[in-house]
Amino acid sequence: MGVSPQETEEVPAKRAKLDDDYHAQPIKTKEAQVEPVIKKMSEYKITELLGQGEDGKTVFTKGIISGLEGPAVVLFETNSIDLEKVKMFLSEQSAIKLTMNNDIFNIFQLDPPTGTNSIKTTVIHPATPKLINKFTMKPSYFVTETAEMYETITRPYILNHLEDHKWVYNILEGKAEQDRFVTQVDDEKEGFVLVADLKWDMTTMENLYCLAIVQRRDLYSIRDLDQTHLPMLRQLQETCLTAIKEKFGVPRSLLRVYFHYQPAYYHLHIHFAHIRYQAGAPVIGKSVALNDVVQNITLSNEYYKNATMVYYIKDGHALSTELDKHNVIVRE
């Protein structure tokens, strides 16, 4: 960790506190007081190192939390992939503070006993198989999805696997992440909320990353969009770009605005990312620009109903299992 003997000796003096000062305390939300899913980092035991983020600055781990059933996924914002170094964060003397809770997602500020900078730590519990797979390093494969494949394989999969998007609904209903709200339009058909994504610290503008989540719950992906949705898309784009400029000083010329296909979750949302934010860079087989979507459905009402879409999917994803049943994915 690279601290001098002097720094090491000073840390206990700074932390000459009661044991409770190392423990996470409850936080209040709009609905109620939320108890931390974990009181101290020593309650977490790592069972597997899942992988590392694309930017090399986040380590993904899987483990168990003492006294709780089911696995947990814990993300540490550190560039160390050394499991032994990561385990140092689980010391009895690591102080943690719960800063955000939304359903199964919890963000803590972790202060290691070494006296190094605070580490943003995300605790997900209980972690579903889908979430565990999301953070596990596995090979991905490209899929060429025709309109027929979408109707016979993908859409039935979506309708049969509509998860409880409680964390999304908490945001839309103002029950969570209110301190990360940027702007919103409250309308049953054309409403949306723009929030700062949890991956962004809201201070480093070159890492700006926001999500616009539509209020409607019957739109799952760009496949569901047609000309009736153009007013919503245009209003959303203009409102969000204006709000980002007013609140953060970032002009629209420095922002990427796009969908993902396949999306990480099937509730329509749009990404707003700074052009210099590497993790938000366009990816072939995943990113579709909002301007392109608007242009395509303007030219053809059923463009995305009839289009052939190319995307990549990770091994182990539930949809890849369905695709394998139809021999869609070519692995050799």
Q: Which residues pair with 167 in a beta bridge?
A: none
Please give the pLDDT value at position 11: 32
Q: What is the CB neighbour count within 10 angstroms for residue 125?
A: 21
- DSSP E strands in 112-200: the ranges are 119-124, 140-145, 181-185, 192-196
* Structure confidence by residue, pLDDT tens digits, 128-173: 998 999 899 989 999 999 999 999 999 999 998 887 788 999 999 9
* Structure confidence by residue, pLDDT tens digits, 250-291: 999 999 999 999 999 999 999 999 999 987 677 888 999 999
User: Of residues 16 and 256, which shows the higher confidence score?
Assistant: 256
Q: Which residues pair with 212 in a beta bridge?
A: 194, 270
120 alpha-carbon distance from chain centroid: 14
Residue found under tokens 């990113």 = 287
| Closest CA relative to residue 135, chosen from 204, 238, 54 | 54
Q: Which residues pair with 27 in a beta bridge?
A: 34
Q: What is the CB neighbour count within 10 angstroms for residue 291?
A: 12
| 64, two tokens | 């168990």
In 293-328, which positions are buried (b, 16+ CB within 10 angstroms) versus exposed (e)? Answer: bbeebeeeeebbeebebebebeeebebbebbeeeeb
Q: Which residues are catalytic?
A: 269
* Structure confidence by residue, pLDDT tens digits, 80-93: 667 788 888 999 99
64 SS3 class: strand
Amino acid at 315: D
CB 261 within 8 A of CB 150: no
* Structure confidence by residue, pLDDT tens digits, 201-250: 899 999 999 999 999 999 999 999 999 999 999 999 999 999 999 999 99
CA distance 80 to 44: 18
Q: Of all residues in the chain, what percent carry a pLDDT higher than 70?
A: 88
User: Which residues, in sequence order, are CB contacts of 330 under 8 Å at separation 6+?
Assistant: 141
User: Of residues 22 and 12, which shows the higher confidence score?
Assistant: 22
Q: Using only C-alpha atoms, what is the Rg of the chain?
A: 21
- DSSP E strands in the chain: the ranges are 27-28, 33-34, 44-52, 59-65, 72-76, 95-102, 105-111, 119-124, 140-145, 181-185, 192-196, 209-214, 255-260, 269-274, 287-289, 309-314
* Structure confidence by residue, pLDDT tens digits, 110-122: 998 876 788 899 9
Please give the pLDDT value at position 281: 73
Least confident of 101-105, 278-282, 298-302: 278-282
pTM here?
A: 0.82
